[in-house]
Chains A and B, each alone.
Chain A
Amino acid sequence: MGISFAHPLALWGLLGLPVILAIHFLQSRNRREEVSTLFLLEMLAEETRRGAVFSYLRNGLQLWLQLLAVLLFTLLLAGPMRLHEESIQSIALVVDSSVSMRAFEREVTEEVRRLIELLDGTAAKTEWWILPSDSRRAEWARGADKEEALAALNDFDPLSGPHSAREAIARARQVVGPEGLVVVLSDHPNEDLPGQAVPVSVGHPLDNIGISGVRFEASETGEMNWQLSVVNFGNEVSARRLEVELAGAPMGAQTLELNPGAITTVSGTLPVTEGEGRGEFRLTSDAFSWDDVRPFVLPKPKSLGFRIEVDAPHLREWAERVMDTVSGSESVLFADVVWREAAADAAGLDSAELRFLTGKETGPYARVAPGDHPLVRDLSWEGFLAQPFLNLVPAPGDEVLLWMGEHPLVVLHPVSGVEALWFNFDVAASNADRWPGMVLLLNRFLSRVREGLPQEESLNLETRQLLRVGGNADTPLRAEFTGVNGEVESFSWRNRAPDRPGYLKVWAGEELRLHAGVGAGDSAEGNFQSARPQAFPEDVRLHLRRRNSETEFLLPLIFALLAGTLVAAWWSETRGGRT
């Protein structure tokens, strides 16, 4: 029949029953008396010698009426309700797909199972959607019954970094409609969710210690120096054993004493060996093992050949200073990138260019406005001073990266498969050589040039890191991923590192272009100090249940019984008085 109560807290009123019983029995405790006429009573009363309590309960009509009144009144307050047989509802569970949820996989499964069991009874039929909070990932179950929804949990594999669940919540709200329920399941409490989503958290604080980063640098002796940073997210000093392995062979181990909240840097040296140079740093495993292993390869960056063809001393000095900061760069004759001074209509080269345009007339200072391009994205130009040469008209295909007023300052000019960066201002009269944004712009351009070079490189990436593998657009890229457990699987390369730690190889045709160790990025995911449990609010369940139920079907009966009880109590009272 599926009867439940709209206000279950009112059932505490049932405590009135023992209270009434206690009051009655306290009022009617046995009075002791010595008598001489018990034989007369023996003849009269058929009750057993020790049946006073039973006799009292049997004969105490007032008591029974009071108990019944309390019961009925409690029922009235509790509001019994019965599900509509045709009621149907939609519930979407948006499960946080952040990596941090890997620490609570068992709790997630149990909570989803509990929620499904809890909410399934709030309507005659419930449609379930289970979606990841990262909207870029495929949803797990849609429109399923609860068994299918539970089975979909097997696909729970949280791999996302920090992301906003807003899009997933909006989509969930869209599929369940305005009357449906959206539940967001995470490992930390959420109070400010859009779309009237209901937050639920299964997390709790963990004292996690993990590897937050690694850096390699070739030493002058031909070896590879490494620096590993380990962070203790816990509240206590902890010790962990760090093991280093290269090409399957142990290369050393040490015990680290880690202060709470501190990042500890550990360094060492590895020999540069023949072969792939794969290895891994391994910390003693804890509750969140995701950041306990860091796969790496000994880095072999692409070389970047450059040539400086500028005469102006300040320009040459600036160019040399910039190129000194680019690792793997060397001055060569047949360069991959050329610094040069030339007019805008001068013929292009086969290589990438950093061209400083020449001119006579310059425009006035004006407000600098960046274009929408990755090379200048998020860079600040407030205070950048330069006087643009007049009369430069961007050609079709050119992208203006910086504007000063209506005059282009920096232009990205594609020429026969390579790119040239044009600087349309007098560098000597500007603060470009001291402007951080300009230095970053140059580094981004040089990195872009290097990425496009069809060379093999070994480097270490973080999960989901964007990376362009150079090569001919006509040559398809093929990738292979090897997990930390050694399982090899094919991988679809989309200029982004895999979601999980391991080793990656990318080929262009038959040529190996990239060999990378992929480590867990987003080290903040390993911080569980703000993780707290948050229970599903009971009032929401009651609201759903109430909405899908009829609540007044027992009211006439209860009112009738209550009235009957009161009348009977009155009758009993008056009759008792006459007796």
Chain B
Amino acid sequence: MEAGVCARHLRICLRERSWQGSQGNWAGAGIGSSIDFQDHRPYMPGDDPRYIDWAAYARSGQTIMKLYREEVSPRMDLVLDVSRSMFYDPDKRAQTLRLFFFCMESARALNASLQVYLVSGGDCHQVDPDRLRDPEWEPEAVAESGGVPMLDRLPFRNNSIRLFLSDVLYDASPDLILRELLRGKGRGVLLSPYLRREADPDWHGNMELRECERGWIRRQRVDASLLKRYREAYMRHIQSWRDTCRRYQTGMARVPGDCGLADALREEAIPNGLVELWG
């Protein structure tokens, strides 16, 4: 519900580049039939004679092509990390789902060609977006293996925008994942739900920590020193993702899980230009 409300005012920002796809509302990479003038050039054999600028031919005697920008519907590949870490906490789960459906609504509003993938470790599933409207659908039901998402197994479309929803909490190099996310001239957007207590937990004393994906248990005495080092390690981990995203020109925004979606998007996603106001 909240995702739908947000989608009336907010949407994924697609203005930064040209897209390819079927005819639609967005500037394509090629010549199209929109009303936006793009360029003049000499007629070449094989060109569509409908685009010859007859007024210019009358003035100059040259067959000049008048080119208009192509308007396309962008291809959007939405990848949802359904590993257990995305859903183990009710707040995080709710925010993840809100974000996921916001992306879907946003894609629909943009008339984008949407393909949805659910990924958890090596398990990758493409799902019909219409099926996701089923209120009984539970994304974590397909999460089995967990761990580092194997994006190389996903059939991304060329020149598509890849919206990757993941908390990036896995012990793997961001390069490997982002490289796979961007293959085929795609544009990547990483929206990362998180909990503030993941960044700054209130652990103290003897803790029995259960890893949410594999069920590993670690009994650990946590003192102030260890907690401080943990916070630093968390920040380093997130920072390494930010740096890598910047290097790969991939937008990254963290979406806090313990507030409403609009407020959460206002924190990083809108300032970073990944989500824009419209309507």
- Measuring CB to CB, which residues of chain A are less than 8 angstroms from any residue of chain B? 27-45, 47, 49-52, 55-56, 59, 576, 579
Contact = CB atoms under 8 A, between A and B. Distances in A.
A38 B198 CA distance: 10
B141 to A, nearest CB: 19
26 contacts: A29-B206, A30-B208, A30-B219, A31-B204, A33-B207, A33-B210, A34-B210, A34-B212, A35-B198, A35-B201, A36-B198, A36-B213, A37-B234, A38-B211, A38-B218, A40-B230, A47-B220, A47-B221, A49-B219, A51-B219, A52-B206, A52-B208, A52-B221, A55-B221, A59-B221, A576-B224
B209 interface: yes
B16 interface: no
Interface in B184-235: 198, 201, 203-213, 216-221, 223-226, 229-230, 233-234
Contacts of A579: 223-225
B169 A36 contact: yes
Given A32-B210, A36-B213, A55-B220, 14 more contacts: A28-B205, A30-B207, A31-B204, A32-B207, A33-B209, A34-B89, A35-B209, A35-B210, A36-B88, A36-B198, A36-B212, A39-B169, A39-B170, A576-B224
The DSSP consensus for interface residues of chain B is: mixed
A40 B237 contact: yes
A51 B213 CA distance: 22
B203 A33 contact: yes
Contact of A45 (B204, B205, B213, B220): B220
A37 B198 contact: yes
Contacts of A576: 224
Given A32-B208, A34-B88, A44-B233, A39 B219 contact: no
A31 B207 contact: yes
A59 B223 contact: yes
A47 B206 CA distance: 13
B171 A39 contact: yes
Contacts of A41: 209, 218, 220, 230
Contacts of B198: 35-37
Nearest to B223: A59
A31 B169 contact: no
Nearest to A54: B221
Contacts of A34: 88-89, 209-210, 212
A88 B157 CA distance: 103
B167 A31 contact: no
B115 interface: no
Contacts of A51: 219
Contacts of B234: 37, 40
Contacts of A36: 84-85, 88-89, 167, 169, 198, 211-213
B268 to A, nearest CB: 19
Contacts of A55: 220-221
Contacts of B204: 31
Nearest to B169: A36
Q: Interface extent on B, as a size class?
A: 35 or more
Contacts of A31: 203-208
Nearest to B237: A40
B235 to A, nearest CB: 10
Of all A-B residue pairs in the complex, the 3 with the closest CB atoms, nearest first, are A36-B85, A52-B219, A579-B224
A61 to B, nearest CB: 10
A29 B206 CA distance: 6
A59 B208 CA distance: 17
Contact of A30 (B170, B201, B206, B225): B206
Contacts of A42: 218
A295 to B, nearest CB: 82
B209 A56 contact: no
B1 to A, nearest CB: 26
A43 B233 CA distance: 9
A83 B225 CA distance: 49
B223 to A, nearest CB: 6
Interface string B12-47: 000000000000000000000000000000000000
A38 B88 CA distance: 14
Interface string B72-104: 000000000000110011000000000000000
A38 B209 contact: yes
A56 to B, nearest CB: 5
Nearest to A43: B233
B19 to A, nearest CB: 34
A354 B88 CA distance: 127
Contact of A35 (B206, B211, B221, B237): B211
Nearest to B199: A37
Interface string B164-189: 00010111000000000000000000
B212 A35 contact: yes
B208 A38 contact: no
A33 B208 contact: yes
Given A52-B206, A56-B206, A44 B226 contact: yes
A55 B222 CA distance: 9
Contacts of B212: 34-36
Contact of A38 (B89, B216, B224): B216
A50 B219 contact: yes
Nearest to B213: A36
A144 B201 CA distance: 77
Contact of A49 (B213, B217, B224, B230): B217
Contacts of B207: 30-33, 52
A43 B226 CA distance: 11
Given A35-B201, A39-B171, A41-B209, A56 B88 contact: no
Nearest to A39: B171
Interface string B218-260: 1111011110011001100100000000000000000000000
Given A34-B88, A40-B234, A52-B220, A45 B208 contact: no
Nearest to B205: A28
A321 to B, nearest CB: 106
Contacts of B171: 39, 43
Central interface residue in A31, A42, A47, by most chain B CB within 10 Å: A31
Contacts of B229: 44
A35 to B, nearest CB: 5
A56 B230 contact: no
Contacts of A40: 230, 233-234, 237
Contacts of B206: 28-31, 52, 56
Nearest to A58: B221
Contacts of B233: 40, 43-44
B199 to A, nearest CB: 9
Nearest to B88: A34
A337 to B, nearest CB: 107
Contacts of B209: 33-35, 38, 41
Contacts of A27: 205
A31 B218 CA distance: 11
B217 to A, nearest CB: 7
Contact of A37 (B84, B169, B205): B169
A35 B210 CA distance: 6
Contacts of B213: 36
B107 to A, nearest CB: 27
Nearest to B234: A40
A36 B237 CA distance: 13
Contacts of B170: 39
Central interface residue in A36, A38, A576, by most chain B CB within 10 Å: A36
